[in-house]
Copies of this chain bind each other. A is one copy, B any other.
Amino acid sequence: MASVVDRLNLKAAILCKDIVRMCTIAGSGHPSSGLSLVHMVTALMYNKMRYSPSDAWNNSADRLVLSEGHAVPVIYAAYADLEGVVGKSKAKSWKLSSKDLSSLRKLGSVLDGHPNPAEGMPFFDAATGSLGQGASVAAGLALAARTDGSDRIIYCFIGDGESREGQIWEAVDFIAERGLNNVVLIFNCNGQGQSDYVASQQSPKALAGKLAAAGLNAKIIDGHNIKGFLDTLKENMGKGKPPLAICAETIKGWGSSILTSGNWHGKPLPAADVETTMKDYDRIISKMKSKGIRVGNLQPGKPAKTTRRAEIKKVTLAKPSQILKADKAFRANGAIATRRAYGLALVALGRANKNVVGLDADVKNSTFAIYFHEKYPDRFFECRIAEQNMLSMAVGLSAAGKIPFVSSFGKFFSRAYDQIEMAAIGRANIKITGSHSGVTLGADGPSQMSLSDVAFFASMSTAHSGDGTPICVVLQPIDGVSAVKMTELMANHKGMCYMRTLRSDTPTMYKDNERFVIGGTKTVVKGKDIAIFGTAFMVHEAMKAAELLKADGIKASVVDAYSLPIKAGEVTRAARANKNRILTVEDNYGQAMGAAVAQIAAAEGGIKVSSLNVPKIPKSARDVGKLLKYLSLDAKSIAKKAKQMI
């Protein structure tokens, strides 16, 4: 009678043939990386993991994160063989079969070049493929499991070359700090990168040394020895044990005489070489079979229970004035920084929806996420100064049904733009709030100012997720009321949102019953000669400019362009009411709101648009007024520009 291990070994050898073939048929892909993982993947997917291939949406099942996303053919091969379900939703799902493997990387296929749950591969929780992000996603899933009291385990495969990415070590620190022993990191040490051998800094021994120094339980194993792998898992996992990290020595292109000679990274076998490799595997398979080994019915473990990700339910917060009155200064004079209003709104959200979680990177007393931290410490995760890990953890949390609100300085999110784009590709439902936006933080200087953030997020807002909703929504409140309303809006919008908040106090502009919608604008001063479109702090400066213009007999409208993408009708309506003249004003670099407005105007025709942006690299200034003048963004400069247009 063959042991389970023997049977798993046989299955692994059989899967190798699928891995090689599907890449050759596709004409691209990474068979050699997949082959290096084949034994460990087989051990997990056919045995160790507690999940049901027929129900990929069970929020209590174990999960697998493939950080080195290019190795995905090994997963596809196993999942197809197990008849795992695929599709964009449970209602519209179907069972994958091995013949589907020939559709790898085809336009109509769910088998994308790299893992992406959003293209119909629900076995995965996040889009991966840009390297170094999986351990953080796994940590996010593990945090969610811990918060939910779930015993699910998150396995994560990381490439050795990939582990040079600093984000991996941010994740390791977080896992160690929180003692997240429901994550198992498995480093695939096949020794080969794309253009070179992996550095000795990423050898199994070096990695194990670093992991141990970071406080994980680091083990070096043979990644093709299924028994050793399963034993290591069994012996080192469980209550009270430190998080386990495995450095698995593997062979890139395992079992194929051709793929193990020379550098085959990212290259499929030419069709002519497939037969030789099939024979390699057939020999291995025959040898096992000759010993009486048969695969039989291999099945993964059973999940403890079946639960579903929380649905995103509409939340209605109390009136903004009710929420904001917790702030003494607001009560006194109605002025409050939008960042502080956001903090208060976040607490209200936390009360309204227990799935709301907060993350911040050691600036919670500046972003005011600290209010949430104080009220809901169990749902707040201090991520320390490691923005990349924070973002990808949020992706993991959202995949488990949480609604993560991630806070930092707007500037510091540029540290994680790759992670943010990957979140968008996976259609993660995360909410990003960048404080101290624009130049009005003044004295700290440009290293703390978010200046190209609007262009970056707005760029994503020009495309949609597939279902018509923009990939990303940009929101810019100008007062406490709109900050509360937009925080609520973010919670109710399914998909990525980016909200910019301000360091300094601004007066209350809106009433409690004001409505804010994606794509909308608000006319805060009604004129007829020119419409000044402003964002955030610049709306207030534009209002001063409108006052100055009055003295010259010019009646300027001021429009709060609080949302991107902006609806074309909002622009054309304002233009028509203001002699087809629009001046846009922002305290960030260009390609932002002004460009979006100009594009609508130029497509429509007959509307003139001029724009003021931050025209040069700012510097420190104690006085915000002086800095705005230095950048030609003060009320006088705005008024001057408006006059030039008339």
A residues with a Cβ closer than 8 A to B are 26-29, 69, 105-107, 109, 112-114, 116, 118-119, 127-132, 161-162, 164-170, 173, 176-177, 193-196, 199-202, 206, 209-210, 212-215, 360, 362-366, 370, 382, 384-386, 388-389, 411-412, 414-415, 417-418, 421-422, 424-425, 427, 443-448, 451-452, 454-456, 458-460, 462-466, 471, 588-592, 594-599, 601-603, 605, 607-611, 613-617, 619-623, 626-627, 630
Q: Check A164 against B466 for contact (C-beta < 8 Å).
A: no
Q: Check A214 against B193 for contact (C-beta < 8 Å).
A: no
Q: Check B194 against A173 for contact (C-beta < 8 Å).
A: no
Q: Check A166 against B451 for contact (C-beta < 8 Å).
A: no
Contacting residue for A385 out of B132, B385, B589, CB 8 A? B132
Query: Would you list the 10 A-B pairs with minimal beta carbon distance, nearest first?
Result: A166-B166, A129-B447, A462-B590, A455-B459, A595-B595, A602-B609, A113-B445, A107-B621, A598-B602, A113-B620
Most buried by B among A365, A366, A417, A458: A417
Q: 24 A-B residue contacts at CB 8 Å?
A: A27-B443, A27-B622, A106-B620, A107-B623, A114-B445, A114-B448, A116-B446, A128-B447, A161-B384, A164-B170, A164-B386, A165-B170, A166-B170, A195-B382, A417-B418, A427-B617, A459-B590, A459-B591, A462-B591, A462-B613, A598-B603, A599-B599, A602-B607, A603-B611
Q: Check A599 against B615 for contact (C-beta < 8 Å).
A: no
For A213, the chain B residues whose CB sits under 8 A away are 206, 209-210, 212-213
For A621, the chain B residues whose CB sits under 8 A away are 105-107
Q: Check B463 against A459 for contact (C-beta < 8 Å).
A: no
Contacting residue for A445 out of B129, B196, B424, B444, CB 8 A? B129
Most buried by B among A388, A421, A451, A465: A421
For A113, the chain B residues whose CB sits under 8 A away are 443-445, 447-448, 620
Q: Check B599 against A594 for contact (C-beta < 8 Å).
A: yes
Q: Check B193 against A362 for contact (C-beta < 8 Å).
A: yes
- Could you tell me the distance between the alpha carbons of A465 and B609 in the complex, rounded to whole angstroms? 25
Q: Check A386 against B165 for contact (C-beta < 8 Å).
A: yes
- Could you tell me the distance between the alpha carbons of A27 and B412 in the complex, rounded to whole angstroms? 23
Q: Check A130 against B27 for contact (C-beta < 8 Å).
A: no
For A382, the chain B residues whose CB sits under 8 A away are 195-196
- Could you tell me the distance between the alpha carbons of A421 and B106 in the complex, rounded to whole angstroms? 37
Q: Check B130 against A385 for contact (C-beta < 8 Å).
A: no
For A599, the chain B residues whose CB sits under 8 A away are 590, 594-595, 598-599, 602, 609, 611
CB of A420, distance to nearest CB on chain B (Å): 8
- Could you tell me the distance between the alpha carbons of A626 and B384 in the complex, rounded to whole angstroms? 44
Q: Check A443 against B384 for contact (C-beta < 8 Å).
A: no
Q: Check A447 against B69 for contact (C-beta < 8 Å).
A: yes
Q: Check A107 against B598 for contact (C-beta < 8 Å).
A: no
For A128, the chain B residues whose CB sits under 8 A away are 447
CB of A464, distance to nearest CB on chain B (Å): 5
How many identical subunits does the complex contain? 2
Q: Check B170 against A463 for contact (C-beta < 8 Å).
A: no
List 14 additional A-B contacts (Cβ < 8 Å) besides A107-B619, A209-B213, A598-B602: A105-B443, A114-B448, A114-B620, A127-B446, A128-B447, A129-B445, A169-B169, A173-B201, A173-B202, A195-B364, A206-B215, A421-B452, A452-B459, A462-B591
CB of A444, distance to nearest CB on chain B (Å): 5
CB of A359, distance to nearest CB on chain B (Å): 13
Residue of B nearest to A367 (CB): B195
- Could you tell me the distance between the alpha carbons of A177 and B131 in the complex, rounded to whole angstroms? 21
For A105, the chain B residues whose CB sits under 8 A away are 443-445, 620-622
For A466, the chain B residues whose CB sits under 8 A away are 616-617
For A388, the chain B residues whose CB sits under 8 A away are 166
Q: Check B462 against A459 for contact (C-beta < 8 Å).
A: no
Residue of B nearest to A630 (CB): B107
CB of A2, distance to nearest CB on chain B (Å): 38
Q: Check A456 against B452 for contact (C-beta < 8 Å).
A: yes
- Could you tell me the distance between the alpha carbons of A557 and B417 in the complex, rounded to whole angstroms? 36
Contacting residue for A447 out of B114, B173, B594, CB 8 A? B114
Contacting residue for A365 out of B112, B170, B195, CB 8 A? B195
Residue of B nearest to A110 (CB): B619
Q: Check B418 against A414 for contact (C-beta < 8 Å).
A: yes
- Could you tell me the distance between the alpha carbons of A192 and B590 in the complex, rounded to whole angstroms? 37
CB of A16, distance to nearest CB on chain B (Å): 21
- Could you tell me the distance between the alpha carbons of A623 and B169 in the complex, rounded to whole angstroms? 37
For A456, the chain B residues whose CB sits under 8 A away are 417, 452, 455-456, 459
CB of A97, distance to nearest CB on chain B (Å): 19
For A370, the chain B residues whose CB sits under 8 A away are 195
CB of A396, distance to nearest CB on chain B (Å): 17
For A601, the chain B residues whose CB sits under 8 A away are 598, 602
Q: Check B608 against A602 for contact (C-beta < 8 Å).
A: yes
CB of A443, distance to nearest CB on chain B (Å): 4
Q: Check A617 against B107 for contact (C-beta < 8 Å).
A: no
Q: Check A421 against B425 for contact (C-beta < 8 Å).
A: no
Q: Check A177 against B195 for contact (C-beta < 8 Å).
A: no
Q: Check A385 against B201 for contact (C-beta < 8 Å).
A: no
Q: Check B589 against A460 for contact (C-beta < 8 Å).
A: yes
For A445, the chain B residues whose CB sits under 8 A away are 105, 112-114, 116, 129
CB of A100, distance to nearest CB on chain B (Å): 14
Given contacts A200-B177, A447-B127, A620-B113, contact A615 B195 (CB under 8 A): no
For A201, the chain B residues whose CB sits under 8 A away are 173, 176-177, 214-215, 384
Q: Check A167 against B164 for contact (C-beta < 8 Å).
A: no
Q: Check A161 against B385 for contact (C-beta < 8 Å).
A: yes
- Could you tell me the distance between the alpha carbons of A381 and B355 in the complex, rounded to whole angstroms? 46
For A162, the chain B residues whose CB sits under 8 A away are 385
Contacting residue for A465 out of B610, B614, B617, CB 8 A? B617
Given contacts A114-B445, A161-B362, contact A385 B425 (CB under 8 A): no
- Could you tell me the distance between the alpha carbons of A607 and B603 in the complex, rounded to whole angstroms? 9
- Could you tell me the distance between the alpha carbons of A455 and B370 in the complex, rounded to whole angstroms? 33
For A165, the chain B residues whose CB sits under 8 A away are 166, 170, 385-386
